[in-house]
Amino acid sequence: MPLTNTATRFGSLSKALHWATALGILTMIPLGIIATDAPFETAETLAWKAQLFSVHKTIGVTLFFLAVIRILWAITQPKPAPLHAERRIETWLAETVHWLLYGSLVIVPLSGWLHHAATTGFAPILWPFDQGLPFVPDSPALAEVFGALHRIFEKVLVVSIILHVAGALKHHVIDRDATLRRILPGQTEAGDPSVTHRHAMAVVAALAVWGGAIGLGAGLGSFAHEEAPKGPALEQVASDWTVQDGSLSITIQQFGKAVTGQFADWQAAIRFDDPTAPAPQGDVSVDVSIPSLTLGSVTAQAMGPDFFDAESFPTARFQGEIYAVSELFEARGSLSLRGAEVPLTLLFELQIDGDTAQAKGYGTLDRRAFGIGETMTDAGQLGFEVRVDFELTAVRPAP
């Protein structure tokens, strides 16, 4: 069978791309629904959920490239003539649906891929390449927008598929023409080669639908991010040194990948004397708002009762004394979190220039000591060790 199209039949490559895409869609959409609804209370169920999502994402990326190839091939080929060109509304609707399908086949997997790239952690794409995309930062706000676009265009794709299938069945069962048979295996030819497609109005209609879907998805994504609850703000604390700027983060290993989350709300009360004074040289107390943590795609899960249980334990506190250790410093104390108090030492660098100090350091702890993720017994799925990193700039009043 010839590879290329003519004005009266589809070539073998067009047919192969059409049915490969159909198979991918019929696999990807149900798989995404099943993965979304799958539970994740135990290590086994979380692993299964992650595997489902990984396969769903991998098929989606494959479909993206397949769709691009299909569209590029279609652009270079003549499209077989409509069999009932005199039915102008029907022909216009059929062409509009085709354009919606082409666009959705690109936008649905691309928006899902962008959502994945902007999200930290969980369910990697099953390939040896990087999980990110150039110029797409890890950003909860962007992830919300791309996620909403993905969901909206999924609906556009599903409706387009339903209309496309309904039209094909109508031609085959009611009209009894060769429209469907032309895309099935074989060499069916039909149609008047002198009849051409009128794309302009169909493209305009498809663009209008895409524009509305993009606006709706972007709006829903932005609203969802803005409305995300972060818990009550911490009150300012009295301190010899006032923190002007800084960051506090944790890093976990999830399915072998490092996932870093940031706390947006934390306060530190710092007393620090001359480094040459007898030890300890000072002390520090840090209060942390647990609901202010963003941890990529697992933020909501991390706040749940099996993990941080942020509703019952909305704050954590570290209290320790500062000791000079060679050219570095240690804050030796304990972390109170989730009803447990566990020893924790933070090692850090310190530079003081007049009344401005800069510190950068880290510490490690075992999540199991706080009863966090007790059902997650496989370190390959969720690592036991959690790394705490911080850096800050603080000032003190001039004497």
Choose between 391 and 203: higher pLDDT.
391
Among 226, 256, 283, identify where a domain stops: 226
Nearest to 216 by CA among 288, 153, 287, 284: 153
Is 349 inside a domain boundary? yes
Is 209 inside a domain boundary? yes
Same domain, 217 and 291: no
pLDDT grade, residue 312 (50/70/90)? very high
- Say which CATH number the domain at 277 has: 2.40.128.110
Give mean pLDDT, residues 179-195: 85
pLDDT grade, residue 399 (50/70/90)? low
Instruction: Tell me how many domains the chain contains.
Output: 2
pLDDT at position 228:
45
Is 233 inside a domain boundary? no
Same domain, 199 and 263: no
Same domain, 382 and 246: yes
pLDDT at position 223:
65
Same domain, 222 and 250: no
- Say which CATH number the domain at 37 has: 1.20.950
Phi, then psi, of 310 in degrees rounded to 5: -65, -30
Is 235 inside a domain boundary? no
The token pair at 78 is 């003549």
List the domain range (segments joined by +) for residue 338: 242-395
pLDDT at position 232:
64
Is 247 inside a domain boundary? yes
Same domain, 248 and 357: yes
User: CA separation (Å) from 129 to 81, 125, 132, 235?
Assistant: 42, 9, 9, 45
| Segment 324-338, tens digit of pLDDT | 988 899 999 999 999
pLDDT grade, residue 227 (50/70/90)? very low
pLDDT at position 197:
66
Judged against a pLDDT cut of 70, whether residue 234 lies above it is answered with yes
Identity at 323, one-letter amino acid code: Y
Distance between CA 164 and CA 18 in Å, rounded?
A: 12
Judged against a pLDDT cut of 90, whether residue 323 lies above it is answered with yes
Same domain, 187 and 151: yes
